[in-house]
């Protein structure tokens, strides 16, 4: 009997009256959301029925719902706060507080965007060419508003899935989400226009945000989620450097921002320690070696708060 209980163990602790109800995105974002909260300091565990998780904080309760629905129920007030995409806040037209962005800081990762696409071989070159045609999408409201604003009469239909294979057989164009465009290319699609850029947001209900106790808790969660995200692309780096080269090193390697410099027992050397973007390490270690650094060590981080 013991094993099945793990997921529920801490739920019981919080049986009293939690301060905040959290809206969490179910499905493809579920695992990464749980991992992000774990790094931030909260264990969210779900049993096979993933709707109602256990959270190891008596002040928190939560529910997993579809990402598309989180903002709706934050606005209605069932959730005090929640994670969802900017796209679905817009599609639902939800009146909520956008507390902060939750984006990975890696430079190379581009923002996702919703794009209007046609087959590469299509004669359609601009939105106007779609007048009188059919467009499939999961964001019917946004797409209808887009064409109405342009005064183009288009038949927009809801797509239940696999939107990208629907052109040209089933519809004339689609509006779908893409990050780099490579999946579009794989389906031989061409982008005609971009309707919306999106990323994950931490949002709050307006009344909850006005309540000082709730707002303080929401801000704490936001700070720690960002600290965990930040740590995901950062590493700790420490090394011993000859005092003589210290200036040159910090000049030549500007990404060594605000290093902690501590004395060592040997007076000619100092210990230099800093937090640095993981992506630049592969470039600066050769430089540091050249400048006389020794015992260079990189170690992983859980959280970073500047």
149 vs 247, beta carbon nearer its own copies: 247
Own/partner long-range contacts of 191-194 (Cβ < 8 Å, ≥24 apart): 191/115, 191/116, 191/117, 192/115, 192/116, 192/117, 192/118, 192/124, 192/125, 192/126, 192/127, 193/115, 193/116, 193/126, 193/127, 194/113, 194/114, 194/115, 194/116
Query: Which element (helix H / strand E) includes 135?
Result: strand 134-137
Question: Nearest distance from residue 149's CB to its own copies, in Å?
Answer: 23
Length of the chain: 306
Question: Nearest distance from residue 260's CB to its own copies, in Å?
Answer: 5
150 vs 286, beta carbon nearer its own copies: 286
99: left (phi over 0), alpha (psi -120 to 50) or beta: alpha
131 vs 297, beta carbon nearer its own copies: 297
Question: Nearest distance from residue 210's CB to its own copies, in Å?
Answer: 20
Question: Nearest distance from residue 128's CB to its own copies, in Å?
Answer: 23
54 vs 124, beta carbon nearer its own copies: 54
65 vs 83, beta carbon nearer its own copies: 65
3-state secondary structure of 147: helix
Question: Nearest distance from residue 151's CB to its own copies, in Å?
Answer: 25
């Amino acid at each position: 009997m013991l094993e099945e209980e793990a997921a529920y163990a801490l739920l019981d602790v919080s049986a009293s009256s939690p301060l905040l109800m959290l809206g969490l995105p179910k499905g493809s974002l579920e695992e990464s959301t749980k991992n992000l909260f774990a790094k931030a300091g909260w264990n969210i565990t779900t049993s096979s029925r993933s709707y109602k998780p256990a959270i190891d904080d008596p002040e928190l309760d939560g529910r997993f719902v579809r990402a598309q629905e989180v903002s709706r129920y934050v606005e209605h007030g069932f959730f005090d706060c929640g994670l969802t995409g900017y796209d679905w806040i817009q599609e639902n037209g939800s009146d909520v507080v956008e507390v902060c962005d939750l984006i990975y800081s890696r430079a190379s990762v581009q923002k996702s965007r919703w794009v209007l696409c046609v087959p590469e071989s299509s004669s359609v070159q601009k939105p106007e060419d779609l007048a009188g045609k059919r467009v499939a999408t999961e964001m019917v409201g946004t797409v209808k508003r887009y064409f109405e604003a342009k005064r183009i009469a288009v038949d927009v239909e809801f797509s239940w899935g696999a939107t990208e294979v629907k052109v040209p057989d089933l519809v004339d164009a689609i509006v779908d989400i893409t990050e780099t465009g490579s999946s579009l290319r794989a389906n031989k699609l061409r982008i005609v226009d971009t309707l919306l850029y999106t990323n994950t947001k931490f949002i709050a209900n307006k009344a909850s945000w006005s309540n000082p106790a709730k707002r303080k808790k929401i801000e704490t969660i936001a700070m720690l989620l960002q600290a965990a995200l930040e740590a995901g692309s950062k590493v700790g780096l420490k090394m011993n450097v000859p005092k003589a080269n210290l200036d040159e090193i910090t000049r030549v390697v500007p990404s060594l921002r605000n290093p902690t410099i501590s004395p060592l027992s040997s007076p000619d050397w100092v210990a230099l320690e800093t937090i640095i973007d993981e992506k630049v390490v592969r470039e600066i270690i050769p430089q540091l070696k050249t400048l006389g650094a020794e015992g260079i060590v990189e170690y992983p981080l859980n959280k970073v708060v500047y």
